[in-house]
Amino acid sequence: MSFRYKSGWQVVYFDSDRRRTQLPRRAFFNSDEALVEFVRRSNGVKTLEDENILNMQMKRNNGHNVEEK
């Protein structure tokens, strides 16, 4: 999963292969809270370190390699 902010949070999914093949599904969130809740529900935040990394990436307005398990 990769995300960036452009008039809202745009989320793109990738296959787990090494070529990072983009999957046809996408998501869009209007607020930071909605993105954080989505990541939490998909078990992307498991530790305090994961949460800090997510917050840092959101402050930079983009993030990569957030695992969805």
- Domain assignment present for residue 30? The answer is yes
| Domain containing residue 30 | 2-63
- Domain assignment present for residue 68? The answer is no
Predicted TM-score (pTM) of this structure: 0.76
Number of structural domains found in the chain:
1
Q: Is the pLDDT of residue 8 over 60?
A: yes
Residue type (1 letter), 66: V
Q: Is the pLDDT of residue 18 over 70?
A: no
63 token code pair: 């993030």
- Domain assignment present for residue 26? The answer is yes
Give the mean model confidence (pLDDT) for residues 51-56.
90
List the one residue out of 44, 58, 4, 2 whose CA is nearest residue 25: 2
Q: Say if residues 55 and 39 touch (Cβ distance below 8 Å).
A: no
The confidence band for 27, taking pLDDT boundaries of 50, 70 and 90, is: very high
Q: Is the pLDDT of residue 58 over 60?
A: yes
